[in-house]
Structure 1
Amino acid sequence: MTDSQWQKQSDDSYLITGSLNRDSVPKIWQAVQQWQPESSRIEVNMEQVKRVDSAGMVLLIHLIEHAKKQNCHIMLSFVPKQLKTLFQLSNVEEYLGGHLKN
């Protein structure tokens, strides 16, 4: 299996690949913490995310907060069904509603 990664595609587009779980989140968070958005609106494509757990969900919430502090709005696209279920079970759907692209 390939490593999970946070990859820049363009100034306003990023890709997350692999698994977002307790094993991969620390590595991805290191990259995200140093990230400086180059646009006021960023799309994060999750089409290649194979598996996600609660640690991955928390990473995404922190990513959204990190971007907000830098006047950037994150939109998550191709959100896996498994993650949408975690959002529902954790009662964070309302908070993330403006960040989910259909």
Structure 2
Amino acid sequence: MLKYNVLKEGKIYQVILTGDFDIESTEVINEALIPELMVADKVNINFEEVPFVDSSGMGLLITLVNKLKENRTKVTISNVNDEVYGIFDLLQLPEILGKEVFH
């Protein structure tokens, strides 16, 4: 099960994810995390503690980033492990979301 912690410095938010980013994450992201982040000017999503992402998690990540961008929030994704980034790269996620998003 995915868990998250949000660290706030003014309107700059650091989201630390822990666990698998999969279909079970949908409720957590859509009902809790997205509404909380809509007031931020900048959001960094830290994937350091995310060992696994499946196809539903990919769709969820695209939704999360796009909703924040529509809200004019600057979004970055950091500390993605090599295995997960390999999947992101294979599915062209950096091209879809923008290479500037990944750090």
TM class, shorter-length: 0.7 to 0.9
Q: Tell me the amino acid that sits aligned with residue 9 of structure 1.
A: L
* TM superposition score normalised by structure 1: 0.80
Could you tell me which runs of 5 or more consecutive residues in structure 2 were left unpaired when the two chains were aligned.
none
For 1:10-53, what per-residue CA distance to the aligned partner results, in whole angstroms no more than 9, with x for missing partners? 14211111111122333332213322434322111111112211
What RMSD over aligned residues (CA atoms) do the two structures have, in Å?
Answer: 1.9
Larger strand percent:
1
Distance (whole Å) between structure 2 residues aligned to residue 55 and residue 71 of structure 1: 24
> How far is the alpha carbon of 1:71 from its aligned partner?
0.8
Distance (whole Å) between structure 2 residues aligned to residue 50 and residue 87 of structure 1: 13
Could you tell me which runs of 5 or more consecutive residues in structure 1 were left unpaired when the two chains were aligned.
none
Which 4+ runs in 1 deviate beyond 6 A? none
- Give the aligned length: 99
Corresponding residue number in structure 2 for 1:5: 3
Q: Compared with structure 1, are the counterparts of its residues 43 and 33 closer, same or farther at alpha carbon in structure 2 (3 Å cutoff)?
A: closer
For 1:60-91, what per-residue CA distance to the aligned partner results, in whole angstroms no more than 9, with x for missing partners? 11111110111101100101223322222222
Query: Identity percentage over the alignment?
Result: 24
Larger helix percent:
2
Contact 1:12 1:38 in 2 (8 A): no
Contact 1:39 1:72 in 2 (8 A): yes
Specify the SS of the correspondent of 1:46: strand
Corresponding residue number in structure 2 for 1:21: 22
